[in-house]
Amino acid sequence: MGSTITEKILAKHSGKTKVNPGEIVNCKIDTIMCHDVTTTPAIDLMEKYGIKKVHNPDQIVVIPDHFVPNKDIKSAEMVAKIRRWAKEQKIENFYDLGRHGVCHAILPEQGYVTPGKTIIAGDSHTCTHGALGAFSTGIGSTDLASALTTGELWFKVPETILIQVDGKLQKGVYSKDVILEIIRRIGVDGALYKAMEFKGEVIDELSVESRMTICNMAIEAGGKSGIINPDQKTIDYVNSHSTEKYEIIKSDDDANYSEIIKIDVSNLEPVVAMPHLPSNVKPISEIDEIRVDQAYLGSCTNGRIEDLRVSAKILKGKKIASGTRMIVVPASTEIWKQANREGLFDIFMEFGATISTPTCGACLGGHMGILAAGEKCISSTNRNFVGRMGSPKSEVYLGSPAVVSASAIEGKIVDPRKYL
């Protein structure tokens, strides 16, 4: 019996020829990413136990992103502490204001993600980077402190669910619709502590950025990780962003999967996740009129340049609905600059949207677009739990950048295909 890509990566990094699901392994970690929220508790733990030095400053990438620019005194003190710590530890890979952005956009963009790597961070959406054929997963602050100290971390080898997505996407249907449909089918705990491996005709056709959207939301189904076997698109992307050497690792044809789910998305229409779960998904044709106070385009899920391009195409020459506001949040400084060069900001501003600096911002209810009681938001983010973007009496609806943009035009959730 062969092995999955996840099993192969974990075996390689634990010095074994083969590992099996359920086995406990201690793995060498290639890249440790630290952001503002979960890093300070890890630093506190290291200080508590008298740990003076990190294992390897070169394997650490620090990207404050949740509350940047600092929104209040508490967040300012938090990031100031991380700055001091990074300087003391001689960590050079620090993305401060001016080169800042959402950590899961910056990590691949700046070449830290390559096939076959092990990548961890104190953030659940670290599974994003499996789109490039890496084992990438989120951890807690205690495990983060351990990995920073030793350069290693233990894992229970996860079982793998194979999700084969075939067919051909209709115009106006995107990777966000695909992953929401998958979550609808299996539920928010359908892949609990399992690796979600995506393959099939549709996955092959998707851009690398769209694949990141798919893997990003594996955690919304309870997944330990999301991963896609690398192909030529992966290689082209990695070679254009990184100079690191890497090894292409793929699943064997006779790999053992705990479950195989086959989905044909040829008839899939745009979908929306209704409050208050990412699995509470409805086709756009079944949604009655829902007025929206805010349209939010951004996040580690859908704040990349291709997302902004889709939005601008829809919004060009239009005007925002009265009583609705729209916030556009490019996911990184480089994406911000690219969008500006392409004239996308002119389109957004003429439409009536506002453009934010790169940040996680309102996605987690931090700042830059918090909802008041009774307000409704159509968002390209990844979670719509109670109080996720502000008041527990607000409502968040999840959709693709196209759905978000079309809804901003009409002030209600609508099918974007009429604008494409």
Task: Give the list of residues 6+ apart from residue 208 with CB closer than 8 angstroms, or none.
Answer: 131, 132, 233, 234, 237
With tokens 């990074």, the residue in question is: 86
Per-residue b/e over 189-222, b at no fewer than 16 CB within 10 Å? ebbeebbbbbbbebbeebebbbbbbbbbbbbbbb
pLDDT reported for residue 15: 97
pLDDT reported for residue 1: 83
pLDDT, tens digit, for every residue of 336-373?
999 999 999 999 999 999 999 999 999 999 999 999 99
Asked if residues 184 and 279 have their Cβ atoms less than 8 Å apart, the reply is yes
What is the token pair recorded at 268?
């899939």
Beta strand 259-264 pairing with 160-166: parallel
pTM for the structure as a whole: 0.95
Give the dihedral of Cα atoms 7, 9, 10, 15; nearest 10 deg.
120
What is the token pair recorded at 133?
């054929």
Asked if residues 4 and 251 have their Cβ atoms less than 8 Å apart, the reply is yes
Instruction: Determine which helix (DSSP H) or strand (DSSP E) holds 345, and give its type and residue range.
Output: helix 344-351
- Given a cut of 50, the residues of the chain with pLDDT beneath it are none
pLDDT, tens digit, for every residue of 121-173?
999 999 999 999 999 999 999 999 999 999 999 999 999 999 999 999 999 99
- Phi and psi for 361 in degrees, rounded to 5? 55, -120
3-state helix, strand, coil in the chain (%, to 5): 40, 20, 45
- Structural domains in the chain, sorted by start: 5-263 (3.30.499.10), 271-419 (3.30.499.10)
Q: In what order do the strands lie in the sheet with 160-166?
A: 225-228, 195-199, 160-166, 259-264
pLDDT reported for residue 249: 97
